[in-house]
Amino acid sequence: MDVYLKKLEDELRLRKYSPKTVKAYSACVENYLKAKKDNFGKVDIDFIKRYILSKIDDGKSSQTTNQNLQAINFFCWNVLKYRGKIDIHFAKTPSKLPIVLSRDEIGKILAEISNEKHKLMVALAYSGGLRVSEIINLKIKDINLAELIIHIKGAKGNKDRITVFPEKLVADVEKLIANKNSNDYFFASERGACLPMRQGKLTERTAQKVFENAMKKAGIKKEATFHSLRHSFATHLLENGTDVRYVQELLGHANIRTTQIYTKVTNPALRKIKSPLD
């Protein structure tokens, strides 16, 4: 089994899948092979169907079920070189509206963060629509203060994109990056800072915890996460009248339908409709 898993990892890395995807796909295929027990090189469509059904029976989400199927498909095609038809449809994912924070709520969250670096991290994630993985991987050279842009490199799908940078944060950024190397992580971890060549980055969990603690202190009851900052960025741009196609580009969405979900959150026509009880 280890031989097949090593081949899978090699194929994923050759295609420049992100480390997170490599880890996730490897875990999915490892569990699949453990369930299969033997004949790892043989593609048994009926067994794959039963395996996916077992995930559904175990109450796994549509996203988890689909990721397992994607990983197994990748394994069969690229490691086992199977060229038959794997006629298994992906599970329907529930259509949920994104949780959006108001401008006032974001202001309250920022006011509760005493650590200046952490406050800047949350402010920058909101103001540029950055994912948590993007904010912690941001390097000093990725921000162009003269042109007020952020260059996001190797984002989701291994794509680069350009997003906006707020002029309001220029002074704070200049203070943070003073006397630092352009290749340094923008939000460097304090751990190992006293050791040469050990400059690291904050973890995703640290960033998420900062946000969660600030939201709790601010008394906000919404089930918001760090990613809600990105949802709020998109929604507030649309509220300001920004064309949805520009918002799509700033977010790095491949399909405009993904971006259009925010028009349902910010639809001004709906807000003008009064309940018949009023």
Q: Is residue 94 part of a domain?
A: no
Lowest mean pLDDT among 80-84, 148-152, 199-203, 237-241: 199-203
Active site residue 89: no
pLDDT-derived band of residue 268, with 50, 70 and 90 as boundaries? Answer: low
Active site residue 126: no
Point out the catalytic residue in the list 131, 201, 231, 236: 131
pLDDT-derived band of residue 159, with 50, 70 and 90 as boundaries? Answer: confident
174 contacts 108 by C-beta, under 8 angstroms: no
Q: Is residue 89 part of a domain?
A: no
Point out the catalytic residue in the list 55, 230, 231, 236: 230
Q: Is residue 195 part of a domain?
A: yes
pLDDT, mean of residues 103-114: 97
Question: Are 153 and 250 found together in one domain?
Answer: yes
Q: What pLDDT, on the 0 to 100 scale, is given for residue 111?
A: 97
Question: Are 47 and 177 found together in one domain?
Answer: no
Q: What pLDDT, on the 0 to 100 scale, is given for residue 191?
A: 60
Question: Are 109 and 11 found together in one domain?
Answer: no
Core vs surface per residue 84-103: b (16+ CB within 10 A) or e:
eeeeeeebeeeeeebebbee
Q: Which CATH number covers residue 45?
A: 1.10.150.130
Q: Which CATH number covers residue 154?
A: 1.10.443.10
Question: Are 33 and 139 found together in one domain?
Answer: no
Rounded to whole angstroms, the Cα distance separating 41 from 5 reads: 12
Rounded to whole angstroms, the Cα distance separating 135 from 228 reads: 14
Q: Is residue 278 part of a domain?
A: no
Q: What pLDDT, on the 0 to 100 scale, is given for residue 276?
A: 84
Question: Are 194 and 241 found together in one domain?
Answer: yes
Question: Are 126 and 222 found together in one domain?
Answer: yes
Domain count, the chain: 2
pLDDT, mean of residues 130-136: 95
Domain boundary among 44, 78, 112: 78
**What are the φ/ψ torsions at residue 139 (nearest 5 degrees)?**
-110, 160
Question: Are 73 and 109 found together in one domain?
Answer: no
Point out the catalytic residue in the list 25, 51, 126, 262: 262
153 contacts 138 by C-beta, under 8 angstroms: no
Question: Are 7 and 66 found together in one domain?
Answer: yes
- DSSP symbols for 202-261: --HHHHHHHHHHHHHHTT--S---TTHHHHHHHHHHHHTT--HHHHHHHHT-SSHHHHHH
Question: Are 117 and 209 found together in one domain?
Answer: yes
pLDDT, tens only, 190-204:
664 444 444 578 899
Lowest mean pLDDT among 88-92, 141-145, 173-177, 202-206: 88-92
Q: Is residue 67 part of a domain?
A: yes
Q: Does residue 158 surpass a pLDDT of 80?
A: no
pLDDT, tens only, 55-68:
999 998 898 999 99
Higher pLDDT, 130 or 92: 130
Active site residue 236: no
Within 13 Å and on the Cβ side, how many CA atoms surround 8?
29
Q: What pLDDT, on the 0 to 100 scale, is given for residue 199?
A: 58
Active site residue 262: yes
Question: Are 216 and 174 found together in one domain?
Answer: yes
pLDDT, tens only, 6-40:
999 999 999 988 888 999 999 999 999 999 999 99
CA distances from 189 to 128, 140, 198, 219, 225 (A): 21, 14, 10, 28, 21
Q: Domain residues for 122?
A: 103-272
Rounded to whole angstroms, the Cα distance separating 126 from 14 reads: 33
pLDDT, tens only, 196-254:
444 578 899 999 999 999 999 999 999 999 999 999 999 999 999 999 999 999 999 98
pLDDT, mean of residues 253-271: 83
pLDDT, mean of residues 253-261: 90
Q: Is residue 96 part of a domain?
A: no
Q: Is residue 91 part of a domain?
A: no
In which residue are the tokens 């649309």 written?
238
Active site residue 230: yes
Q: What pLDDT, on the 0 to 100 scale, is given for residue 85?
A: 85
Question: Are 141 and 202 found together in one domain?
Answer: yes
Question: Are 7 and 138 found together in one domain?
Answer: no
Helical packing angle, 228-239 and 103-111, nearest 10°: 140
* Residue type at position 156: K
Six token digits for residue 98: 């994104």
Mean pLDDT for all residues in the chain: 90
Question: Quick one: which of 198, 159, 201, 157 has its CA closest to 20?
Answer: 157
Q: Does residue 77 surpass a pLDDT of 90?
A: yes
Active site residue 227: yes
Q: Is residue 137 part of a domain?
A: yes
Q: What pLDDT, on the 0 to 100 scale, is given for residue 194?
A: 45
Q: What pLDDT, on the 0 to 100 scale, is given for residue 193?
A: 46
Enclosing H/E stretch for 133: helix 132-137
